Amino acid sequence: MTEMQAPPPYFNIDPDRALAELDAPATTARFAEIAAACTRGREDLASRGLNPEGRKELRLFSTWEITKYLIPVAVAHFRRVLKQNPHLPQGRAETEGGAKWFTFEEVLLLRAHFAGAGSKAKEYRPYRPAGLPAKCVAVANFKGGVGKTSTAAHLAMSAALDGYRVLVVDLDSQGSMTSIFAGRVADEWQTVFPLLARHYAGHLQAENRARMARGDDPLALDETLSEALEVKAQDLIQRTHWPNIDLIGAQLNLYWSEFQIPVWRMQGRSWKLWDALSDMLEADGVLDEYDIVFLDTPPALGYLTINGLAAADILLVPLGASFLEFDSTGRFFDMLHSTFASIEQGENMAARALGQRGLSFEWDAVRAIVTRYDRGQQAELAALMQAYLGTTLSPHRQDFTALIGQAGEQVNGIYEADYRDFNRETYARGRETFDETYAAFKRLLLGIWRREELAQARAAG
Ligand SMILES: Nc1ncnc2c1ncn2[C@@H]1O[C@H](COP(=O)(O)OP(=O)(O)OP(=O)(O)O)[C@@H](O)[C@H]1O
Ligand SMILES: [Mg+2]
């Protein structure tokens, strides 16, 4: 006789017992209680792995890692140069005669030394044409959880390790990027919100000059707009635990922009709301202070994302190699087309009426990137996507790796993890896939900068 199988778990549920387990109906106040519990838990988590002042600290880098991944010199030569130059950082050993470890500030100093004194044939500093502005890179997809923030954060960290000066701008009110870089954002006044408001305030001021010239009454600037006129991008930029990564953070209140922007636009019909972020970053000289600006966007095509996309020179669209993600990413591109085409159309109608040149958006490059790739399960679908998307799909697929997401609050990615905490094989494979993601991005970036450099040289005769 076969044993009786247990019935499935949803059979034989007794309504009275179910009632006994039930708590009272929730009122609005319940949300506040849950939120407060989350805040306490989050603070507890965040405080583990933070130093006593509550700041995140970047780990140290070993001689092995520096000479393998960061500065192209042989270990023996590296040691010799340090010995010959006692003023250079010498690192610290955890045990007598053990491996030497350096802070990332020290790595940057060492790199500068090698770049100044070392072989000219070697690339100690990454290519960056002089006189050209920073490149803005937006990472976007209206599908959630596809790896936007992970991709943007890892690219920012790899670019920083490579020696670039990086600014990260969090346009997502979920603030994940802000947590990764341990940003502190009290309210919307420490996000990009005041820059958007200042752009609109500037528009209103110009409008008012025209109104007054016509003899009309000026429109009043409310308190928010007057206050925003005093805010510069530099007031919003915070340092992070990475010496060469700065941040403009986000928190929940940033979401208010999604309601405020359309209200402003109703009042100022000719306000170019999509240009707000890029105009303000440019006006404040931000693009001269950094090499690369990464914009992390929310999983929606709202006004913040539109601003991020319009500010971008390079657009990266992460997606998983699954039917659902491929399908919704296709619809995302469709939405991008209709959104930007309708902005162009609206503008060009007005421009034609005034006999002016029309508006045409342009991006240096647009690339889709396969993320969380499982070569055992997804090779066929990825190949199909490659066949249809051609060069728009970056040929490098970013593998799914256990190194991401499982580490706690302190470590948010491969580059922040101490390799001794992992199995060597797992570490090497995880690191390799993100190094390759960066390499594919860097190839794109350098090609674009070079194109501009050559165009500039041609223009100069
Ligand atoms: N290469 C990877 N390997 C393993 N896990 C990954 C990888 N990339 C991302 N993840 C995980 O996938 C989840 C979603 O990633 P992420 O937060 O970067 O997506 P997102 O597109 O920014 O999400 P949202 O739309 O909510 O902003 C996270 O738990 C992250 O840790
Ligand atoms: Mg995200």
Q: Transcribe 256-315 into DSSP letters.
A: GHHHHHHHHHHHSTT--GGGHHHHHHHHTTHHHH-SEEEEE--SS-SHHHHHHHHH-SEE
The residue whose CA is least distant from atom 3 of ligand 1 is 400
Report whether residue 371 contacts ligand 1, using a CB cutoff of 6 Å: yes
CA of 113 to the centre of ligand 1 (A): 37
Rg (CA), the chain: 26
Report whether residue 135 contacts ligand 1, using a CB cutoff of 6 Å: no
Ligand 1 mutation target, pool 139, 150, 409, 426, most atoms within 8 A of CB: 150
The residue whose CA is least distant from atom 14 of ligand 1 is 145
Report whether residue 413 contacts ligand 1, using a CB cutoff of 6 Å: no
363, two tokens: 């991006």
Q: What local confidence, expressed as pLDDT, does residue 137 receive?
A: 98
The residue whose CA is least distant from atom 13 of ligand 1 is 145
The residue whose CA is least distant from atom 9 of ligand 1 is 147
Report whether residue 147 contacts ligand 1, using a CB cutoff of 6 Å: yes
Buried b (16+ CB within 10 A) or exposed e, 86-111: eebbebeeeeeeeebbbbbebbbebb
Ligand 1 mutation target, pool 142, 149, 295, most atoms within 8 A of CB: 149
CA of 72 to the centre of ligand 2 (A): 33
Q: What does pLDDT average to in each consecutive run of 10 residues of the chain (461 residues)? A: 76 91 88 85 72 76 94 94 95 88 96 85 86 96 95 97 97 95 95 98 96 93 97 98 97 97 95 97 97 97 97 97 94 94 90 84 96 95 94 92 66 81 86 94 96 94 83
Q: What local confidence, expressed as pLDDT, does residue 244 receive?
A: 97
Phi–psi pair at 165, nearest 5 degrees:
-90, 125
Closest CA to 360 of 368, 351, 373: 351
Q: What local confidence, expressed as pLDDT, does residue 254 receive?
A: 98
Ligand having the closest approach to the CA of 142: 1
For the CA of 143, the closest atom of ligand 1 is: 25
With H, G, I as helix, E, B as strand and everything else as coil, classify residue 192.
coil
CA of 141 to the centre of ligand 2 (A): 9
**Verdict on whether the full-model pTM lies above 0.85:** yes
Contacts of 117 (CB under 8 A, 6+ apart): 81
Report the C-alpha gap between 140 and 299 in whole angstroms: 7
